[in-house]
Amino acid sequence: MRVVVTGGAGFLGSHLCDALIARGDLVWCADDLCTSGPANLRHLLREPRFHFARSDISRSLDVPGPVDAVAHLASPASPPDYHSLPLQTLAVGSRGTENALGLALRHRARFVLASTSEVYGDPLVHPQPEEDWGHVNPIGPRSVYDEAKRYAEAVTMAYRRSEGVDTGIVRIFNTYGPRMRPYDGRVVSSFVRQALRGEPLTVYGDGSQTRSFCYVDDLVRGLLTMLDADVPGPVNLGNPEERTVGELARLVIELTGSGSPVRRLPLPEDDPTRRCPVIARAREQLGWSPEITLREGLRHTVEWFRSGPSQDDEARPRRISRDAAGV
């Protein structure tokens, strides 16, 4: 297939590009680099089946030649990023999604939206099935991301119903692994960075809030399966093994051999207290379930942080000029 990957320079997008190339597909990667850098793609730039275009897809997305599938991953995805880039986050979730859907419509291509567990907000139903409509504060500090993704789901279903686009929606729960930015604000990258530097691990609240951590290789396998399927979704992709943030901190300290203490800070506004997916639909419709344990995945992640290239120069999100070239 020839697959367009929006946000393909990011943590998750670059791993998806790798997997598509590895199985023989051609990849057109579009990314404005506002929350990522070229390091994630450097190894692919000489690959003849890979093309990178620096592009703000909220303005346009025009790809020459055939397109068989569109994987729409573009968006700031961590709280520091979407708090710093609120308007860009809303734009890529709305206009960017519509432009990606328009591309799929023109080419009669399969379209897969990378949505998020954040559409459930601070859930009233636990664990979260896809039937849950969510408990989201539409004007809170997280709303620019939560509501952008909820709109993206709505417009995806509208294109499916009214235009006949072959669409699929996946709701991604906390994903971690190599190529996470050290300062992206996610709990795994923050804990690993802090532990390796001997700094206190920052735990918000009492550490009893839960998350479900899925290793990136498992998640990408789910995305590939969704691209190849005719399943509309939404389908939860995540690890149903629920862990407290306090447990995660202790495991990171153990695996790094760090002497870091834990520092507790107040819980941020609207921070979800529990988060865990029901993945029965993924198992039944995609034949997918995670295989890599948290301990194994964290070990790989720690090794990468120890040996990988420094990304300190890519630590902060960057505003992209409105004059940036389109695809």
Q: Which residues contact 3 (CB under 8 A, 6 or more apart)?
A: 20, 25, 26, 27, 28, 67, 68, 69, 70, 71, 227
The encoded tokens of residue 186 equal: 């996610």
Name the nearest CA neighbour of 12 among 231, 159, 144, 184: 184
Is residue 204 flagged as an active site residue? no
Cα-based distances in Å from 124 to 37, 121, 128, 159, 269 = 37, 9, 9, 29, 16
Amino acid identity, position 255: L
Q: Which of 82, 120, 145, 159 is catalytic?
A: 145
Name the nearest CA neighbour of 174 among 229, 64, 248, 81: 248
Residues that are catalytic: 145
